[in-house]
Chains A and B, each alone.
Chain A
Amino acid sequence: MDFSNFTPGAASIGGLLIGASGLILFALLGRQAGVSSVAGGLLRFDLRDLDWRLAFIGGIVVGPLVVAFVRGSELPFEITFNPWMLVAAGLLVGFGTRLGNGCTSGHGICGVSRFSVRSIVAVVTFVGVGVLVATLARLGGLS
């Protein structure tokens, strides 16, 4: 086993920031920082509800630019460029997170923190399927 890419320190700091972000959104606006639910709600085009959703998503988009600026270096990014696989994955993630009412942030952090049984079951399911598909994709030469 090679753990040379394991970065527990940076991962924990990042996780704390994500938790802090969720607390700010919940304490002040009463909303859960579940990205799929915040983004999915945008697509209902309800004008009374667009401002904070767009602002939250906008903040997420800008975050990496701030880190890149402060560090003064390019951020690591590596992906397999297979257009059809990207389309299939995007459709699955978009439809699946809305059908299951949450993703890694909404179920994974907000839901598990509240000891929500639905969220715990969702996390075990999507991590389990994710492990299976990532393993099969590597064995099948897709990634």
Chain B
Amino acid sequence: MRAAVAALAGLIFGIGLTIAEMTNPAKVLAFLDVFSGQWDPSLIFVMGAGIALYGAGFLILKRRTAPVMGDRFHLPTAQGIDTPLIAGAVLFGAGWGLVGLCPGPAFAALSLGGAPVLIFMAANLAGMYAFELVGPRMTRGQTAA
């Protein structure tokens, strides 16, 4: 049952990314490349609409003490701005700006991007696994969301 809920949520997520065309790296780069003369601000509307709906729903859900099918809400416990947060965001931003793919759209693009996406995904998973090996020594008190 837990897996069925997650599959449905993932499916809606993937459909949303596709309708917004965030699965197309050229469209994401057209947002990030602000000074190209052909700036495409669409990504701001994806984020804005997502934040508005999720934020409103979160306010309502916050009154509950536990999710419908679980014992507790899992939220990040880390507080304050630290070096891992900034360094991680810098590295991520650099990779994102190079090719226009981030984790969600990369999974969604697996069926449409052919070899380039497969290469990116292999490296992405390798990078994530490398963090599992060395990460605990680099971060303190952070738990996965």
Identify the A interface with B (CB < 8 A).
1-8, 10-37, 39-41, 43-44, 51-68, 74-81, 83, 85-114, 116-118, 121-123, 125-135, 137-138, 142-143
- How far does the Cβ of B135 sit from chain A's closest Cβ, in whole Å? 6
Q: Determine the distance from Cα of A5 to Cα of B39 in the docked complex, in whole angstroms.
A: 8
Are B6 and A133 neighbours in the complex by a CB distance under 8 Å? no
Are A59 and B14 neighbours in the complex by a CB distance under 8 Å? yes
Are A63 and B144 neighbours in the complex by a CB distance under 8 Å? no
- How far does the Cβ of B89 sit from chain A's closest Cβ, in whole Å? 4
State the main secondary structure of chain B at its contact with A.
helix
Scan B89-124; emit 1 where CB is below 8 A from any A CB, else 0.
111111111111111101111111101110111111
Q: Determine the distance from Cα of A106 to Cα of B73 in the docked complex, in whole angstroms.
A: 15
Are A60 and B107 neighbours in the complex by a CB distance under 8 Å? yes
Are A101 and B144 neighbours in the complex by a CB distance under 8 Å? yes
Q: Assuming the A-B contacts A5-B27, A53-B6, A64-B108, are A93 and B13 also in contact, with contact meaning beta carbons closer than 8 angstroms in the complex?
A: no
Are B91 and A101 neighbours in the complex by a CB distance under 8 Å? no
Are B86 and A125 neighbours in the complex by a CB distance under 8 Å? yes
- How far does the Cβ of A83 sit from chain B's closest Cβ, in whole Å? 6
Are B11 and A62 neighbours in the complex by a CB distance under 8 Å? yes
Q: Determine the distance from Cα of A76 to Cα of B40 in the docked complex, in whole angstroms.
A: 15
Are B19 and A67 neighbours in the complex by a CB distance under 8 Å? yes
Are B10 and A60 neighbours in the complex by a CB distance under 8 Å? yes
Q: Which one of A44, A110, A116, A121 has the greatest number of beta carbons of chain B within 10 Å? A: A110
Are A130 and B123 neighbours in the complex by a CB distance under 8 Å? no
Chain A residues contacting B54 (CB-CB under 8 Å) are 19, 22-23, 109-110, 113
Q: Determine the distance from Cα of A75 to Cα of B102 in the docked complex, in whole angstroms.
A: 18
Additional pairs, 8, CB under 8 Å, beyond known A3-B40, A13-B19, A14-B17: A11-B43, A12-B48, A17-B16, A17-B19, A18-B12, A64-B23, A101-B76, A126-B89
Are B112 and A99 neighbours in the complex by a CB distance under 8 Å? no
Are B9 and A125 neighbours in the complex by a CB distance under 8 Å? no
Q: Determine the distance from Cα of A25 to Cα of B51 in the docked complex, in whole angstroms.
A: 15
Are A131 and B49 neighbours in the complex by a CB distance under 8 Å? no
Chain B residues contacting A80 (CB-CB under 8 Å) are 99
